[in-house]
C-alpha cells in the first residue's frame, strides 16, 4: 500500500519536546498479493511524536482507513530522523514503523510501514509518502 499524505503538526513543546501530527490522504494505492485491488480508498492518521534528540524522534499512532472500516496501530521500530535538506526552510524526515495491532478489516494485522516526509517548520505543514506491506490473517 502506498499513500501520499498532507498534514499539519504544531511546533514541538514540553520536555522532552512533543507534537501530535495529523494528516489525510491525497492519494492511496492498495493491492493484494495477487495484484488485485484491495478496496482501500482513503486514509488519515493521528500520531504522537516525542523528540529523543534535536534530530531524532519516537512516534506512535493510528492510521484509519475508509472512515473507520479499518485501522493500523503503529510504533517506530527505532528513532526516526529529521534534519535539514537541500531546500531552504524545509526539513526532511524518515522513519520505519512496526504495525503493532489493527482493527476492523485490519484486525490482527502485522507488517512494516516506511515513511519519507518534508516539513515546513514555519507553518507546521508537511507532505509525506508512506509505503506499507500489511499482512492480515
pLDDT the model gives residue 48: 98
Q: What is the mean pLDDT of residues 97-122?
A: 97
Alpha-carbon distance 120 to 21, whole Å? Answer: 13
Report pLDDT digits (tens) over 55-102.
Answer: 999 999 999 999 878 999 999 999 999 999 999 999 999 999 999 999
- 3-class SS shares of the chain: helix, strand, coil, % to 5: 0, 65, 35
pLDDT the model gives residue 83: 97
Q: What is the mean pLDDT of residues 39-44?
A: 94
Q: pLDDT confidence of 8, banded at 50, 70, 90?
A: very high
pLDDT the model gives residue 54: 93
Indicate the domain borders of the chain: 2-135
| Residue 68 phi, psi (nearest 5) | 100, 0
pTM across the whole model:
0.94
Amino acid at each position: 500500500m502506498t499513500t501520499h499524505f498532507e498534514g499539519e503538526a504544531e511546533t514541538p513543546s514540553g520536555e522532552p519536546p512533543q507534537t501530535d501530527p495529523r494528516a489525510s490522504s491525497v492519494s492511496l494505492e492498495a493491492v493484494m498479493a495477487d495484484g488485485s485491488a484491495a478496496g482501500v480508498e482513503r486514509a488519515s492518521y493521528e500520531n504522537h511524536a516525542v523528540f529523543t534528540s534535536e534530530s531524532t524522534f519516537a512516534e506512535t499512532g493510528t492510521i484509519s482507513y475508509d472512515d473507520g472500516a479499518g485501522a493500523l496501530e503503529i510504533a517506530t521500530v527505532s528513532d526516526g530522523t529529521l534534519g535539514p535538506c537541500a531546500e531552504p526552510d524545509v526539513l526532511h524526515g524518515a522513519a520505519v514503523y512496526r504495525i503493532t495491532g489493527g482493527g476492523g478489516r485490519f484486525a490482527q494485522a502485522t507488517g512494516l510501514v516506511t515513511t519519507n516526509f518534508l516539513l515546513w517548520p514555519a507553518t507546521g505543514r508537511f507532505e509525506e509518502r508512506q509505503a506499507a506491506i500489511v499482512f492480515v490473517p
